[in-house]
């Protein structure tokens, strides 16, 4: 026994064993799905005829009612719960701790038998794989176009053996929560950005402002040796397998009160930044007042005066209707604040559990999806520029050399800190 007394056994052993059975069953039907914290549970009394779950967590996923012939997505479970409460029934005549323990262990044996029966009933299901692909951006954002292309390619080429479920718009949490869920196994694919840099600091090297200039430069980085080296170091530092590199477009600087043509125009201006040190340091180097704020709060922040500017990518400016509250933007065709490649990530451990042919199929499909997603970005940015001008937005050119001179010490600082001087030099060389 794993515990020393009857009460502890009823509370811990039963739940531990039940968790194992549950995870085996879920793995059978959903290709690796697991409960993040079922072990954090408590016995709280009885209600009804069967144990019931009272979830209290961060994000939710569908899971299916187990059936001998199929697995239907008909029930819901909150993943990564802070606590999971279980009501354990009391049977008549079993009011002692020892009696309850016997009944619990009897139920456990029945559950194990049921799992074994299911294992024999649907052997084909064990061969299938379900990939949950989660993003924080709106469904209209090109990430979703890329995800849909990946879904189409994978499901067609695998003849249905690999199923892809899409969750755009932050349905499964913010970026940090999605990243953690990928490593834990409840989500299989996401798109890394600023929050990922907290797990893989090397990613900061492509987030330093004014370093990467435009989509051609970004693609040369992502598809060449630099992209390969960066992917390898991300995997070493955080355990993420980089399947491909999506684009996030070009990001100008948007302001409310006046246009920006030189760094003097940014003096003391409250500019929203992603909460990552490299962006905070860069904005300070430009003389601005960096103000970390969630992506979804930027429009309200600009409207209410909490912030006076931002550095959103062009498509986010459009989808979030930023032109309603900020009428000035720097010219991203001249110089971009950031144009970093965004890694499409999967847990390296999970990737290693897939069959070689599945790995090859998934990797190839994601590369094709990334090419498609990048083209969507370029096409949309061209049309959005005209739209913004029609909405009364003033797009200004800046003293580009001055901006680069101000932030270059930030480039050097992070390259040294990250031991990425080689990557910085290669990225600069690709600018020419």
pLDDT digits (tens, 9 = 90+) for 350-390: 999 999 999 999 999 999 999 999 999 999 998 999 999 99
Going by the DSSP 8-state scheme, the letter that residue 325 receives in this structure is T
Helix (H, G, I), strand (E, B) or coil at 179: helix
pLDDT digits (tens, 9 = 90+) for 77-122: 333 333 333 333 333 444 454 555 455 454 544 454 444 444 444 4
Instruction: Give the model's confidence band at 48: pLDDT under 50 very low, under 70 low, under 90 confident, else very high.
Output: very low
Percent of residues, the chain, with pLDDT higher than 90: 64
List the single range of 7-16, 192-201, 337-346, 405-414 with lowest mean pLDDT. Answer: 7-16
pLDDT digits (tens, 9 = 90+) for 320-334: 999 999 999 999 999
pLDDT of residue 218: 96
pLDDT digits (tens, 9 = 90+) for 120-135: 444 444 468 999 999 9
The strand pairing partners of 84, in sequence order, are 41, 55
Half-sphere exposure of 367 (CA within 13 A, CB side): 9
128-248+340-375+415-429 maps to CATH 3.40.190.170: yes
pLDDT of residue 294: 84
| H or E element, residue 75 | strand 71-79
Domain residue ranges in the chain: 6-125, 128-248+340-375+415-429
The strand pairing partners of 133, in sequence order, are 166, 189
User: In the predicted model, is pLDDT for residue 151 greater than 50?
Assistant: yes
Helix (H, G, I), strand (E, B) or coil at 423: helix
Average pLDDT on 196-217 reads 93
pLDDT digits (tens, 9 = 90+) for 64-85: 333 333 333 333 333 333 333 3
User: In the predicted model, is pLDDT for residue 214 greater than 80?
Assistant: yes
pLDDT of residue 336: 94
Q: Which residue has the tokens 């500017």?
A: 309
390, two tokens: 């029609």
Q: What percent of the residues of the chain are helix, what percent strand, and what percent coil, each to the nearest 5?
A: 50, 20, 30
Instruction: Give the model's confidence band at 295: pLDDT under 50 very low, under 70 low, under 90 confident, else very high.
Output: confident
**Cβ-contact 365, 157 below 8 angstroms:** yes
Q: Quick one: angle between helices 142-157 and 356-390, nearest 10?
A: 150
pLDDT of residue 213: 92
| H or E element, residue 389 | helix 356-390
pLDDT of residue 80: 37
pLDDT of residue 20: 53
Helix (H, G, I), strand (E, B) or coil at 335: coil
């Amino acid at each position: 026994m794993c515990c020393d007394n009857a009460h502890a056994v009823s509370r811990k052993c039963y739940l531990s064993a039940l968790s194992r059975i549950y995870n085996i069953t879920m793995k059978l039907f959903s290709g690796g799905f697991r409960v993040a914290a079922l072990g954090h549970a408590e016995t709280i009394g009885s209600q009804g005829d069967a144990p019931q779950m009272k979830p209290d967590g961060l994000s939710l996923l569908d899971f299916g009612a187990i059936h001998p012939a199929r697995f239907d997505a008909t029930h819901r479970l909150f993943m990564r719960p802070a606590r999971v409460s279980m009501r354990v029934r009391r049977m008549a005549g079993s009011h002692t701790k020892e009696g309850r323990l016997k009944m619990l262990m009897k139920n456990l044996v029945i559950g194990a038998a049921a799992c074994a029966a299911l294992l024999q009933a649907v052997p084909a299901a064990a061969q299938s794989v379900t990939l949950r692909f989660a993003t924080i951006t709106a469904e209209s954002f090109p990430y979703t176009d890329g995800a849909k292309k990946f879904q189409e390619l994978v499901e067609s080429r695998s003849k249905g053996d690999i199923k892809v479920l899409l969750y755009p718009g932050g349905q499964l949490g913010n970026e940090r929560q999605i990243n953690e869920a990928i490593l834990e196994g409840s989500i299989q694919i996401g798109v890394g950005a600023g929050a990922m840099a907290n797990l893989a600091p090397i990613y900061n090297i492509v987030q330093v402002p004014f370093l990467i200039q435009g989509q051609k430069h970004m693609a040369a980085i992502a598809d060449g040796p630099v992209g390969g080296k960066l992917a390898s170091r991300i995997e070493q530092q955080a355990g993420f397998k980089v399947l491909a590199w999506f684009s996030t477009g070009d990001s100008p600087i948007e302001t409310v009160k006046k246009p920006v043509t030189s760094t003097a125009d940014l003096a003391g201006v409250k500019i929203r930044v992603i909460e990552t040190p490299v962006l905070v340091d860069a904005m300070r180097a430009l003389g601005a007042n960096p103000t970390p704020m969630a992506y979804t709060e930027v429009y309200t922040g600009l409207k209410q005066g909490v912030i006076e500017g931002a550095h959103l990518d062009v498509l986010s400016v459009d989808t979030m209707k930023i032109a309603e509250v900020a009428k000035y933007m720097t010219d991203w065709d001249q110089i971009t604040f950031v144009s970093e490649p965004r890694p499409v990530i999967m847990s390296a451990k999970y990737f290693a559990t897939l069959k070689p042919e599945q790995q090859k199929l998934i990797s190839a499909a994601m590369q094709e999806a990334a090419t498609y997603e990048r083209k969507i970005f370029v096409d949309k940015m061209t049309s959005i520029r005209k739209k913004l001008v029609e909405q009364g937005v003033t797009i200004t050119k800046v003293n580009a050399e001055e901006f680069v001179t101000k932030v270059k010490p930030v480039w050097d600082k992070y390259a040294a800190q990250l031991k990425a001087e080689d990557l910085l030099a290669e990225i600069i060389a690709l600018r020419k």
